[in-house]
Amino acid sequence: MSVLVSISIFPLDKGESVSNYVARAVKVIKDSGYPYRVSPMETTFETETLEEALAVIRKCFEVMEPDCNRIICNVKVDYRKGRTLGIISKLKSLEEKMGESIEKGLNL
Amino acid sequence: MSVLVSISIFPLDKGESVSNYVARAVKVIKDSGYPYRVSPMETTFETETLEEALAVIRKCFEVMEPDCNRIICNVKVDYRKGRTLGIISKLKSLEEKMGESIEKGLNL
Amino acid sequence: MSVLVSISIFPLDKGESVSNYVARAVKVIKDSGYPYRVSPMETTFETETLEEALAVIRKCFEVMEPDCNRIICNVKVDYRKGRTLGIISKLKSLEEKMGESIEKGLNL
Amino acid sequence: MSVLVSISIFPLDKGESVSNYVARAVKVIKDSGYPYRVSPMETTFETETLEEALAVIRKCFEVMEPDCNRIICNVKVDYRKGRTLGIISKLKSLEEKMGESIEKGLNL
């Protein structure tokens, strides 16, 4: 089974530059050890169970709670039985259907 | 503290009419006992801790998992310290700022 | 045809209290004349064409742009052919499926 | 100015495998000529004005409307004055804040 989760989380009480805070959540996700990808509007990771996914989301809040008064978070879940490593296979499938390559990332 | 959560959850493998499945999740939220409101695009509820909120989300998945192969879910969280019953106070505050009444619900 | 749209829009550079700004967008939607409902996390309205819906979204930005430097907006669209007044019928259908009443609004 | 938009769009009446339909929207975005990145849960692109962004969204619907009866779409907008090429600079800023590299894409 595959639980694909994308999360966007940031404080509302810290002004318009929030990357310092977003970085904390991305570090939580990176350190979780699950496959993940950071994109410009959210970070996606993949677990095998919903429990694992919710535990990561909880930790993302935990690293913001100490000094943030208001936190806005958006989560998308794509839960699918019988899928493996959807974080890769979804884009692969897309390219096959399109018959052409797509921009799948960044080289900074 | 106030954790406002809105959730939209439905199966992707059951055709275009999904209210039978959405009803299961709304029942979970209603039966949870937390303050809640159903709107046309999502259901909102409010807890005091994130743990409570995540437990409700997990239950919403549990009532769909047995017979749904693919589930799409969108969650928004508005976490705010020092707020009480935001599910009511946010709309009250909005009406005060506007100086006029707004449509806040449905009488079917 | 029915285009149900829910929108959440707020500035990121105005501190944690943003209802003054949210009120501007809700007023745009109310004044548009389309059926609408305000809920604690977003405002939903319904048009017959996508063009009409996008025009409302554009106006919501227009009333924030003059004095907001960074604006965050989430939009959900539920487009369905052959549906009429989905803003009401979706909740009606939900109650029928559940066989019990649900909280569909607020009396402040 | 920079209008970052991420979009997730798919039909609800075509069963659980929808990449054929998603591919149409991704092709619209690619062919628009704006900077874009496809990630596992949404596609992000960047324009200089909101009008340009809304025109792309409209086209994404246009390529699904002919044979889809119900379409679900999620859009996030991050509008920011004085930013250039946020689709790259947001991730760059994140890496600087973290002091370590992050997974920013896929090599299939």
d(CA C11, CA A10): 13
The residues in C 5-34 lying below 8 A from B, measured between CB atoms, are 6, 8, 16, 19-20, 22-23, 26-27, 30
Has residue D106 got a pLDDT over 90? no
Q: What percent of chain A has pLDDT over 90?
A: 95
User: Mean pLDDT across the stretch A77-102?
Assistant: 96
Residue of chain A minimizing CA distance to B73: A77
- Chain B contact partners (≥3 CB pairs within 8 A): A, C, D
Option in B69, B79, B80 nearest A61 (CB) = B79
Distances (CA, A) of C2 to A20, B17, B18, B102: 41, 15, 16, 22
Please tell me the predicted confidence (pLDDT) of residue B43. 98
Note whether C75 contacts D74, CB cutoff 8 Å. yes
Q: Is residue B88 part of a domain?
A: yes
Q: What is the mean pLDDT of residues C28-52?
A: 98
In sequence order, what are the residues at sequence separation of 6 or more whose Cβ sits closer than 8 angstroms to the Cβ of residue A16? C12, C13, C69, C70, D80
Pick the residue with more confidence: A106 or A58?
A: A58
The residue among B107 and A36 whose pLDDT is bigger is: A36
Percent of chain C with pLDDT over 90: 95
As a 3-state breakdown, chain C gives helix, strand, coil percent values, each rounded to 5, of: 35, 30, 35
What does each C-alpha distance from D19 to A44, C54, D11, D22, D30 come to in angstroms?
18, 25, 10, 5, 16
pLDDT exceeds 90 at position B36? yes
Residue of B nearest to A71 (CA): B79
pLDDT of A10 strictly over 80: yes
For D75, the closest of C50, C61, C75 (CB atoms) is C75
pTM (global) more than 0.90: yes
Query: For residue B57, with 0-12 CB atoms within 10 Å meaning exposed, 13-18 middle and 19 or more buried, which class applies?
Result: buried
| Token pair of B103 as six digits | 């449509």
Q: Which two tokens stand for residue D57?
A: 């969204």
Residue B84 confidence (pLDDT): 94
Identify the pLDDT of residue B83: 97
**Residue C81 pLDDT > 80:** yes
Residue A15 is assigned to a structural domain of this protein: yes
Q: Which residues of B touch C64 (CB under 8 A)?
A: none
The β-bridge relationship of strands C36-39 and A42-47 is unpaired
**Average pLDDT for residues A41-66, to the nearest whole number?**
98
pLDDT at A53 over 90: yes
In a domain, B73, yes or no: yes
State the pLDDT at residue A26.
98
Residues spanned by the domain of A15: 2-98
Give D102's pLDDT tier (boundaries 50, 70, 90): very high
Rounded CA-CA distance A3/A53 in Å is: 7
Average pLDDT for A21-28: 98
Q: Residue range D39-58: average pLDDT?
A: 98
Closest approach of A63 to chain B, Cα-based (Å): 13
Alpha carbon of B24 to those of B10, B60, C100: distances in Å?
Answer: 10, 7, 12
Across the interface, do A69 and C16 touch by the CB < 8 Å criterion?
A: yes
What is the model's pLDDT at position A43?
A: 98
Mean per-residue pLDDT, D31-47: 98
pLDDT band at A106 (very low <50, low <70, confident <90, very high): confident
Provide the domain count of chain B: 1
Ramachandran area for residue A92 (φ above 0: left; ψ -120 to 50: alpha; else beta): alpha
Residue D74 sits in a domain whose CATH number is 3.30.70.930
The CA-CA-CA angle for residues B87, B88, B90, to 5°, reads: 80
Cβ atoms of C72 and D77 within 8 Å: the answer is yes
Q: What is the pLDDT of residue B106?
A: 83
Q: What is the pLDDT of residue C52?
A: 98
User: Parallel, antiparallel, or unpaired: how do β-strands C2-11 and C70-80 relate?
Assistant: antiparallel
> Residue A38: which of C78, D37, C47, B83 has the closest Cα?
D37
CA distance D25 to D59: 8
Given the structure tokens 């799409």, which residue do they identify?
Answer: B72
Average the pLDDT over D54-72 and give the result: 98
In a domain, B103, yes or no: no
Residue in B16, B18, B69 closest to D16 by CB: B69
Does B108 score more than 90 pLDDT? no
**How many C-beta atoms surround the C-beta of residue C19 within 10 A?**
18
Neighbors of chain A by Cβ distance (3+ pairs < 8 Å): B, C, D
Residue A107 pLDDT exceeds 80: no
